[in-house]
Amino acid sequence: MRKTFEKGRDPHRAQFLPETGLSFLLSFLLLVGASTGVAQTPPQQVKIAYASSGINYADWFLAKEKGYFREEGLEPQFIQMRSSIAINAGVTGELHGQASIGSAIRAIQRGAPLTVVAVTLRRPLYWLVVRPEYRSVKELKGKVLGITTIGGSQHTRAKGMLALGGLDPEKEIISVQISDQTTQLQALVGNAVQITALSPPWVAVARDKFKMNILDSAMERFAGIDSGLVVSARLLQDRPDLIKRILKARAKGNRYFLDHEREGSEFLGRIYQVDFKTALESYRASMPAFTRTGIPTDEEIKEHLAEDARVLQLATPAHPAKIFDFTLQMAVLRELGFQ
């Protein structure tokens, strides 16, 4: 292109360009240079961990599909790993954030230098699912419970539902770690485990395709904050601008997911390969658990920390300020005009 532009040019003519023409040319070259610089700037990769597949993280995945991360100059890499591993990776700086926050909240109460900056779920999205031959919790004595992480949110809620049904989950149930909820469902079908706690859409798949029985719902039984974003205290201090961009992308994905039932359900169907009827039922069943602002109420936080204190055998619940900092999330809501 440069040679074509220069071909046949009179070298003496340029010095007699009118002042207005020269100004226009300089402005044009500056504009092209600036545009080229922006286009060549690669998006910053951010690594975010999540524990298991399920509707809990739909807003994150949708934010990527809709291009909300690109709008913030980011390229997300979602990495599935157990919460216990993700907590250590977050503390050491190997991750930018963790979308599974239940276990992280308990780790913070034990001294981990992490901070919760946004919350997706205000209630726990787990249903107690068992094999077809069992119709009550008391029949499950001595059986095997499959969960993602020992001591994680799924494990805690499953034990809570079993205890409400009359069993001592510490003494009368065997708990084993199985990576993902899809794998847990396969283990349930194969009778390697007899109990698990599933989130949508897998709870509907278990019921409809494999005729498993659903005995209880944690959403209706317990207070429980889960999913969102937890980051290291150091990253929050050193790079609040980066955390804010991540939060903005997540907030836009969350709001789109909550405001568009059909599109949200179709998205669930695509990423988890379930039919639209199952996806729509899963969407509607989960809606009461979601926050629209990324910030739970003071009472919901208080209830969650009280339950954690009981599980962790703490003398008193932790103070919310030790665990949560919603300053950046509130700024994001103001900038986006979200109520």
236 neighbors 325 (Cβ within 8 angstroms): yes
pLDDT above 90 for 87: yes
Q: CA 66 to CA 61: how far, in whole Å?
A: 9
Whose tokens are 């690594």? That residue is 47
Rounded to 5°, angle at Cα 281 from 278 and 284: 150
Rounded to a whole number of angstroms, the CA Rg of the chain reads 25
pLDDT above 70 for 15: no
pLDDT above 80 for 272: yes
Q: CA 6 to CA 247: how far, in whole Å?
A: 49
Which one has a higher pLDDT value, 261 or 15? 261
pLDDT of residue 26: 41
pLDDT of residue 13: 35
- What are 284-302's pLDDT values in tens digits? 999 999 999 999 999 999 9
pLDDT of residue 179: 84
Q: CA 9 to CA 312: how far, in whole Å?
A: 81
pLDDT of residue 16: 34
Strands 195-198 and 44-50: unpaired
Specify the pTM. 0.83
In the predicted model, what is the mean pLDDT of residues 12-38?
Answer: 42
pLDDT of residue 78: 97
In the predicted model, what is the mean pLDDT of residues 303-329?
Answer: 93
Q: CA 95 to CA 91: how far, in whole Å?
A: 8
Q: CA 167 to CA 161: how far, in whole Å?
A: 9
Q: CA 79 to CA 258: how far, in whole Å?
A: 24
- What are 152-198's pLDDT values in tens digits? 889 999 999 999 999 999 999 999 999 899 999 999 999 999 999 99
pLDDT of residue 29: 41
Which pLDDT band holds residue 40 (cuts at 50, 70, 90)?
Answer: low
Output the CA torsion sign for 39, 40, 46, 47. Answer: positive
In this structure, how many other beta carbons lie within 10 angstroms of the beta carbon of residue 302? 14
Q: Which residues contact 33 (CB under 8 A, 6 or more apart)?
A: none
